[in-house]
Amino acid sequence: MSADRPPVCDYEGSQYQATFWDQGEREYEDQAEARALRALLPPQGRLLLEVGAGAGRNTPRYAGFERVVLLDYSRTQLAQAQARLGRGGRYLYVAADAYRLPFVPGLFDAATLIRVIHHMADAPAALRQVRAVLQPGAAFILEFASKLNLKAIGRWLLGRQAWNPFDPAPVEFAALNFDFHPRAMLGWLRAADLNPERIRALSYFRLPLLKRLVPTGLLVSLDVLLQPTGRFVQLSPSVFVRARAGGQGAVAPPGKFFRCPECGGDELNDDGDHLRCAHCDRRWAVREGIYDFKESL
């Protein structure tokens, strides 16, 4: 990336969905997240933005929304989502940088950012981008990896881990893989005019031995019982937050949808295989049902 833009974790060409989820023995985590989403997501809405949609694992869970925009930096991840969900209909596929969302302000009445922000070196900037494209009062569901989890605390107390889980600064435990302190993340949400309403703590039982010995359904049921404890304390490896966009801000004008991520112009002419910005004349490809804003033609 350029010097004035944070680096982006690119899953281009990855088989993440197959290797991590389908074959990775993570049914417990997947179902626990599904239950958290069911508890936090509005039951219906008009237009939802799924930032970091990947191969569309969570997308069917947004069934109450009239349309869903799947945004990911990886074109191949979006192609995998198309294979799972189909082209057209309720779904729109967009390849773009989450630090430069290609939508007019105030367009969406809901957004999700699940298992994504842990790849972001500048989490506050990503949250500001999401807030900009939300209408006032819109719902935002965020999942983040918490450094203040019981396993990390135990390892630190035993001297088996160098970084302090109580330190509010993020920890980068691998390249572009961050754990965050809940207090810091909640502060960044408020600073971005995304006001936390409900918090759920997930995946207390994310241990390989437990997942092998205990039936998945039982683990999920126990997890669901513990999830509301997130309102008081967040000691789990995964934390879900439902926030609400503040009452001030833009509402997208009728008929406006995309905007140029380079110049911010909101007049993009459809020339068939690309969109052309009327302000800066940059062209953005439309390939096989994917609107590609990663780089101009």
| Average pLDDT of the residues in 213-231 | 96
- pLDDT at res. 249: 85
Indicate the domain borders of the chain: 16-246, 258-297
Residues 244, 124, 95, 4, Cα dihedral to 10°: 150
Which structure tokens are listed for 88?
């057209």
Confidence of residue 216 (pLDDT cuts 50, 70, 90): very high
pLDDT, one tens digit per residue, over 47-96 is 999 999 999 999 999 999 999 999 999 999 999 999 999 987 899 999 99
As a whole number of angstroms, the distance between CA 202 and CA 116 comes to 16
Higher pLDDT, 22 or 142: 142
Q: At residue 92, what is the residue type?
A: L
**Class of the CATH-defined domain 16-246:** alpha beta
The residue whose two tokens read 């965020």 is: 142
- pLDDT at res. 250: 86
Compute the chain's Rg from CA coordinates: 19
Tell me 17's DSSP state.
I
